[in-house]
Amino acid sequence: MDSQDPVVMTEPRPGVLLITLNRPRVRNAINHTLADAMDAALTRLDAAPSLAIGILTGAGGHFCSGMDLRAFPTDGIPLVADRGLAGLTRARLRKPLIAAVEGAAVAGGFELALACDLITAADTAFFALPEVARGLVAAEGGAIRLPGRLPYHVAMEMLLTAASLPAPDAARYGLVNQLTREGQALHAALSLAERVQANSRDAVHVTKQIVQDTRGLDDHTAYTVQDPLSAPVFTTTTATEGATAFTEKRPPAWQR
């Protein structure tokens, strides 16, 4: 990477914003410069009417090795406002985000992947939360999200011993949506994005918001949160078209 290259590259494709972490010499470690650039890219994704979904990946054969430990002693954790590490781990993005993982997704890099809605991974990739081995804590979602997504004892082994999890095992546990050959994670993510985009944008985005806003709530409370979000969707012309297309056994207008 040339010193003048952007630390985060963005490439708009039809309906998709491809976001690439671009510090390959340090396995895309996150410093404050990268964090600010990624936050700007995520803000662009959520604000652009032409974009329905984002894909997050890393340059140079690795996803992300977490925060830049060389910079940490002087600069601290590269947090962005109330949106967490690199503007993602505590963010409430309206649009779905897919992580396309090659190589290492460790520490904060794994926490970035856990903050995404879908994950594709090469069969040579691996995940780890080695913070305890460095005298740190997986404080940007690792210790919160992982025990709910893996068998408890597997998650605790990763958190307490710094053990790594190969992508094939992650896929077996359901942590990875699609496992691919090395070098094909981005291709799989683009295919997955096409499948998401084949559906109504309003329905996709509201569904994501309901999931975000009701996680951890009891059923009664969750319905009181869900109903004001879902009710307007049922009154749209998109919903009417979807129902009509189903009864007429044809694709809905947005798929033609």
**Is 215 exposed, middle or buried (CB count within 10 Å of its CB: 0-12, 13-18, 19+)?**
exposed
Is 131 designated active site? Answer: yes
Count helices and strands (H / E) in the chain. 10, 9
Q: Which of 11, 102, 131, 140 is catalytic?
A: 131
Catalytic residue among 111, 157, 182, 241: 111
**pLDDT tens per residue across span 179-219:** 999 999 999 999 999 999 999 999 999 999 999 999 989 99
| φ, ψ dihedrals at 96, nearest 5° | -65, 155
Q: Is 11 a catalytic residue?
A: no
The whole model's pTM is what? 0.94
Binning pLDDT at 50, 70 and 90, where does residue 157 land? Answer: very high
What's phi and psi for 201, nearest 5 deg? Answer: -60, -45
Mean local confidence (pLDDT), 58-84? 92
Over residues 53-62, the pLDDT tens digits come to 999 999 999 9
